[in-house]
Amino acid sequence: MSKPIYILNGPNLNLLGLRQPEIYGRETLDDVAAACAALAKALGLAIRFHQSNHEGQLVDWVHEARGQGAGIIINPAAYTHTSVAILDALQAFDGPVLEVHISNVHKREVFRHHSYVSLRADGVIAGFGTEGYLLALRRMKSLITA
Ligand code: CA2
């Protein structure tokens, strides 16, 4: 089996589907994980799907992906807009990195318009709802088989 794709989710995304459905929809993070697992299987990819509310844990998973992962799909949530630590960790990862946002951050508050992670990301998906994770997986398949 080839190396897995790490799908990493940042703070408060454990609340997905439970609050603010007008912004983030009604699917829970477990629903997203299940949809990613089903698509990954169809694409012949292995995945590691994780969520944490802690910046250091996300950094540790990015480090784990060095050597063990073929690519990283990351929704850093609020850390998108603040975390040089996650950016630095991603810059030490050699494979493709795709950044996903459920909402269209550019239609929201100005502080959400800047992303540290975008300085490293090979592609960014925003505003496609939770379908963005599936689009990112399809793009990841193309990138790692190119
Ligand atoms: O649109 C996205 O995916 C975001 O990364 C989500 C983050 C936000 O800080 C980013 O600017 C954009 C927030 C995730 C919090 O998710 C919740 C879901 C349901 C209820 C409360 C929070």
Label residue 11 exposed, middle or buried (CB < 10 Å: 0-12, 13-18, 19+).
middle
Question: Ligand 1: which atom is nearest the Cα of residue 77?
Answer: 5
**CA neighbours within 13 Å on the CB side: how many for 22?**
0
Cβ–ligand 1 contact at 19 (below 6 Å): yes
Could you read off the pLDDT of 27-56 as tens digits, one per residue? 999 999 999 999 999 999 999 999 999 999
Domains and CATH numbers, the chain: 5-145 (3.40.50.9100)
Whether the predicted model's global pTM rises above the 0.85 cut: yes
Q: Are 62 and 86 in contact (CB under 8 A)?
A: yes
Lowest mean pLDDT among 14-28, 43-57, 124-138: 14-28
**Which atom of ligand 1 is nearest to 100's Cα?**
3
- Please calculate the CA angle 41-44-48 and round it to the nearest 5 degrees: 65
